[in-house]
Amino acid sequence: MENSPTPNEKYLHDFTYHGKAYSVSEAKEVLSPYLDGSGSVDLEKDDNGIAKICLNNPRLKNAISVKMMLDLDKITDKLYQWTECKGAILYGTDGNFCSGGDLKLAKEMNNPLNGYAMSVYMGHILDKFKKLPIITVAYIDGTGALGGGAEVTTACDYRLMCNVAETTGIGFVHSKMGIVPAWGSTGRLVSIMGSAKKGIGPIVGGPDAGRR
C-alpha cells in the first residue's frame, strides 16, 4: 500500500540517487541484504479499537533495524485495514522508547546508496503512518526518543512523556554524528512547531517538551 504524497508533502522525498529516483519497492530491495532479524515491531489490538505498537529491540534500547522498518510498514497497512480502529499507542519495550537507528547497522550500510534507500523507505513508512485516520500517540519514557527515534515521534499526533527521568527527552542529535534527519521529520517538525521555532538540535525534555 503506497499512498501518493500530497503536493505539500512531496518535497520530503522528491530527490534522486545519481539522477535516478528509487521507488519504495526498489529501496526495499536495496535494504533486503540487511534484514538480519534484529528486533521487531509488535502489534496488539484490544477490544476497544486501540492498537498498541511495541518497538521491541531491548538489547539496543529499541534502536531501529531494517526488520523493524519492515514490521512497522506492515503494521501500518494493517491499521488502515482495521476499520474499527480508533487510535494507536506507539511505545518501546523495557521502559525505553527508541534510541534511534541501529548504529552497528548504519556502519555496515555505510555507502550513499544504502543511506538513500533507507531514507526513501523509512520516510515513506512514517509519512504513511502520519496519514492514518486515527489518533496516534508516542509514549516516551526511559532514555527518550533520540535521533531516528525523535523522527518517529513526528509521525504521531501527540507525544506523551511518562515516568520522566533526567535522561528522558526528544533529541534531534543527528548533528553530533555529522548527519542530518533523513526520514522526513524536518518537514513534519514545521507543522508541529511552526517555522519560527528553534532548538531542534538539543535534547528537549520535561516541561520544555510540553511547550513544543
Report CA-CA distances (Å) from 48 to 13, 80, 85, 88. Answer: 35, 16, 8, 11
Span 16-75, pLDDT tens digits: 666 778 889 999 999 999 887 689 999 999 999 999 999 999 999 999 999 999 999 999
**Considering the domain boundaries, does residue 198 fall inside one?**
no
- The CATH number that applies at residue 147 is 3.90.226.10
Residue pLDDT, tens place only, 182-210: 666 666 776 776 665 554 555 455 544 54
The CA-atom distances, in angstroms, between 31 and each of 69, 110, 111 are: 10, 12, 12
Q: Which residues pair with residue 45 across a beta bridge?
A: 51
Residue 87 C-alpha cell reads as 487510535
> What is the extent of the structural domain holding 183?
24-193
2 vs 41 pLDDT, higher one: 41
Tell whether the model's pLDDT for residue 9 goes beyond 50: no
CB 57 within 8 A of CB 65: yes
Q: What DSSP letter does each residue of 187-207 carry, written as one string? A: HHHHHHH-TT----SSEE-HH
pTM for the predicted model, two decimal places: 0.80
Give domain status of residue 209, yes or no: no
Task: Determine, yes or no, domain membership for 171.
Answer: yes
- Within-domain flag for 145: yes
Q: How confident is the model at residue 171 (pLDDT cuts 50, 70, 90)?
A: low
pLDDT number for residue 8: 43
The more confidently predicted of residues 162 and 137 is 137
Do 51 and 86 form a contact (C-beta atoms < 8 A)? no
Determine the average pLDDT of the residues in 5-24.
Answer: 60
The answer to the question of residue 47 being in a domain is yes
- Listing DSSP states for 15-35 in one string gives --BTTBPPPHHHHHHHHGGG-
Task: Tell me: pLDDT of 163 over 80.
Answer: no
d(CA 159, CA 43): 19
Confidence of residue 14 (pLDDT cuts 50, 70, 90): low
CA angle 78, 123, 16 (to 5 degrees): 135
2 within some domain: no
Residue 137, in any domain of the structure: yes
| Model pLDDT, residue 22 | 84
Give 10's DSSP letter. Answer: G
CB 140 within 8 A of CB 168: yes
Q: pLDDT tens-digit profile of 91-118?
A: 999 989 998 878 788 788 888 888 888 8
In a domain, 207, yes or no: no
Cα distance between residue 51 and residue 89, in whole Å: 6
Query: Is the Cα torsion angle 84, 90, 92, 98 positive or negative in sign?
Result: positive
- Cα radius of gyration rounded to whole Å, the chain: 16
pLDDT confidence of residue 167: 66
Count how many domains the chain has: 1
